[in-house]
Structure 1
């Protein structure tokens, strides 16, 4: 396998930046600013990112093959078209428990975690948006890891089934060494965790 190291600087700011996604097909970087409801897309060859603003919190935005995005929002899941127009397609969350993060699996399903706005223990859940916009509620009583006083618990899932089994801790981090807040799997199957 040929490894290529690419460093790209893109302009942009965020109050709470999350969910960076590099699209090799378009050579664009997409990320969200949760608190401002902004979805930013930057092309390193252009001076300014394109921004779509939603009137809600946005925990993640994942590009669609057909263009546009699927966003994990305060209410649930939102379809964002190429022109930036949007409609909330599935409202699945109670008030005060927005989506916090989301990733797409190889089958095209979007796995998204929700949490209490104050990151209260055992108030989070895991949801899956299927390709036909059916929403599955998969796990309850999850605790987000954004607060150092909470035990870090993030699901590491096998995406060929919706019902997780054999739940166990994948890794434990010593106190004072940082809290996990984001992870990705590379092309070789290695798990990378941001602390």
Structure 2
């Protein structure tokens, strides 16, 4: 799956719909992402190189709502992208890692930070009042505790507000038909 969403005339995306019919993810996550998902490959590369990217699980309702809240409240200077539409190989990320944790990809050197470190970077790129929290999240012993809390939340995101059973499944199983029927 090269690049972010392939755009008009592309093969069906992971949600099972062709873009011309209306990708479920693009319709669900709203207009700020539609532009990102339909940009030309050259434009995507320029976007990826000019600002940090925060990859999140686009299939997870809890993740999507959390990202929308962060966009409104924290207002970080970052490009949010569902990992299902990102060119993971170009970003130096595996599908397994992207499915396991939120990822911050720095435009300088392409450094990748996951989990609480990614959230810390997002907070530090946001409005002034949130920067201190991002700094505190990187300091011991807070960063040790943040790692444990992040793992518990990630493992139970299907139980949290906005979460669905899809949030608890590994990506490879989310769109497979039920073989037990």
Q: Provide the TM-score with structure 2 as the length reference.
A: 0.31
Q: Which has the larger helix fraction? A: 2
Structure with a larger share of its residues in strand: 1
Q: Which structure would you say has the larger RCO, counting Cα contacts within 8 Å and 6 or more residues apart? A: 2
